[in-house]
Structure 1
């Protein structure tokens, strides 16, 4: 009998990668894609726990989860950086990043 694939494993992996890639876009797209990936991960892990012998792509699901957590973390760090830049240098720090380091 051939094992089937988890329905959202590829989506979780793609969203995890995109959350890392989008963390530099002011942080918000990276957080949103990472949260969506974690929600889809939770749905898929429930399918897997019901019948462990039926599914075979758990590794890509776990990798997508790890990537989404990394992407959310990087996005939060970038948002904290933006808050710091706004607090120290004001709105002109967003258009000229060298203002912070003068």
Structure 2
């Protein structure tokens, strides 16, 4: 069981790292069935040590997360864009996507 770093809150959009050692997720405020307008950022759970750390300070409330271990892509659900995060440095870049594009990983 994951205890949210900021309660009340819940994990959303869970995605595993390629080596299965980390779980990335959006931390959303409120209960699971609330409809938040924003999130509390992207977080990473190290499943070996149970350590939880913040990856980004902000993120959309609705996003699809994909990671290859070096990069994390957040596809914004309501817009044709994505945010690419370098997991080593935390640097982010916004990328425009073609209409109805789907990020796979």
**TM-score normalised to structure 1 length:** 0.22
More strand by share: 2
Between structure 1 and structure 2, the one with the greater Rg is: 1
Identify the structure with bigger relative contact order (alpha carbons < 8 Å, sequence gap 6+). 1
